[in-house]
Chains A and B, each alone.
Chain A
Amino acid sequence: MNEFFKWEYVITLFPKVLSALPTTLFIVLFATLIGSFLGMIIAYCRIERIPIVNQISAVYVSFIRGTPILVQMFIVFYGVPSLLGVIGIDISNWNRLYFIYITYGINTSAYFSEIFRSAISSVPASQYEAAASIGLTKWQTYRRTLIPQAGKIAFPNLGVSIVNLLQNTSLAFSLGVLDIMGKVQTLGALYYRVLEGYFIAAIIFIVLSISLEKLFNMLEKRMHAPKRSRQVTMQPLALERAESAMTVQKSIK
């Protein structure tokens, strides 16, 4: 029992595990970037109901959301090389990280597209019609009316989704990528100290998820806070103008 858990190993292993942190963060970053780009395209196709693409993306989203990411990872790992082999591109010497980026990007895109879609469709349809009636093009309508409003609604959900993504990256080690969990496993084989490694990984994940959550909460609060400075400068101006308009009318009388 005494040999079961030793604090001295926690201290010696901690910097070594921490050195794998950038890999995990890069997976999160790339997955978020790919996910938001693909997710926007999918959400656009589904909102505009573009004939065949709409159905395909509905099936795609349902498939990605209905299968474990572990299975998706191996499908990408075995499927992409043989698919690209048909075209004649050989990627057998690719770094395994690229497969991880692709998998997590695809996975995130499905979740993000649903978030974008529900956010945009929660903006009342009358706004879309109003924008069209004053002659805005579709691009202008999206950029100036729909996206600014939908962004505020989507933001908290995106935060939750990114925290989930961070926790899901812990599966990347099953493809042999040296992220935090992968590092823990290799160090465990080296030092015969697995439990301490898991303890360190747990601490890193707890700190990361809680700080990400706090960050998103802070940004959300800032986003919804009334823009006080601008209001203060606006109000006296508006009052002055109203008074001056009255005085002008009076003088006419």
Chain B
Amino acid sequence: MDFDFAFMFEASLAALHYLPITLLLGFLPLIFGSAIGLGIALIRHYKIPILAVFFKWFVTIFKAIPVVLILLVSYLVFSDVFDTMADSLALSISFSDIDRRWIAIFALTLYATSGLSEIFRGALASIPKGQTDAASSVGLTNLQVLRRVMIPQVIPLALPLVNNMLISLIKASSLVSMVSVVDILNGAVIEANVNYRYLEAYVAVSIIYWGVCASIEAVTAGYEKYAHRSRRRQFA
């Protein structure tokens, strides 16, 4: 078995060059998904008539579809529909002009939204009903209850799960090579296309992914320790 460590190093350097893209594909969908997901969670929590049912189905369906499928379908739909839409709106941009990264971010956002809305919904449901009643009994409006009572409790509850979501997003971003976006995986594979040393390239990429995910996990663990410590101090 010949394993070329020198080439592995070379491939990992080539892959590290694309690390910002992978991180962008992880963080941007997380931010967009959190904003939309929190909205969906609130709509479903307060059971706003038609919208709650609609989003219930939206979340159920998108949780059941694999990410690859979302990615490939959105790429296909964008590539087919975009030009006709741009024509009819008299915009002078065509499909080849837009950055394919946005399609990847769009697809990953759909994936993140369904997961994050469930996370926030679970966190909202875990706050006892008595708190809302108490808050409105001292004369807070609904919006104030939300801002001062619910959200401050939801965020720390959801944060570990949101971090898990970030890890799965970073792992899912390895799929964007299917819509011809160059991320760290594709960057290393392109490097290996020269001499067919694919194993080294994939091992190099896996180590980078591992490093990123392990550091996110370490941050989560550190945060949890910090959160638990501060709570204990409060009660002492």
Contacts and interface: CB of A to CB of B under 8 A. Distances in A.
Contacts of A153: none
Interface stretch (A35-43, A48-56, A195-203): A195-203
Given A206-B65, A210-B60, A72 B206 contact: yes
A247 interface: no
B77 interface: yes
Given A68-B172, A71-B185, A202 B202 contact: no
B84 A74 contact: no
Complex A-B, nearest 8 residue pairs according to Cβ-Cβ distance, in ascending order: A66-B213, A68-B174, A170-B66, A78-B199, A209-B64, A68-B171, A167-B66, A66-B210
Interface in A165-198: 167-168, 170-171, 174, 181, 194-195, 198
Interface of A: 1, 4, 62-63, 65-72, 74-75, 78-79, 82-83, 85-86, 167-168, 170-171, 174, 181, 194-195, 198, 201-202, 205-206, 208-210
B214 A170 contact: no
B206 A67 contact: yes
B209 interface: yes
B77 to A, nearest CB: 7
A205 B61 CA distance: 9
B173 to A, nearest CB: 8
A82 B205 contact: no
A133 to B, nearest CB: 33
Contacts of A206: 61, 64-65
B214 A62 contact: yes
Contacts of A74: 198, 202
Nearest to A86: B1
Chain A at the B interface: mostly helix, strand, loop or mixed? helix
Contact of B68 (A75, A170, A209): A170
Interface in B8-27: none
Given A62-B214, A205-B69, A206-B61, A1 B206 contact: no
B93 to A, nearest CB: 19
Contacts of B175: 68, 70, 171
Given A4-B80, A71-B174, A206-B65, A82 B73 contact: no
Interface of B: 1-3, 60-61, 63-69, 72-73, 76-77, 80-81, 84, 167, 171-172, 174-175, 178, 185, 198-199, 202-203, 205-206, 209-210, 212-214, 217
A195 B75 CA distance: 10
A66 B209 contact: yes
12 contacts: A66-B210, A67-B209, A68-B171, A68-B172, A71-B205, A71-B209, A74-B198, A75-B202, A78-B202, A181-B69, A195-B80, A205-B64
A100 to B, nearest CB: 15
Contact of B69 (A63, A69, A170, A208): A170
Contacts of B206: 63, 67, 71-72, 75
A86 B2 CA distance: 9
B66 A205 contact: yes
A168 B66 contact: yes
A67 B171 contact: yes
Contacts of B205: 71
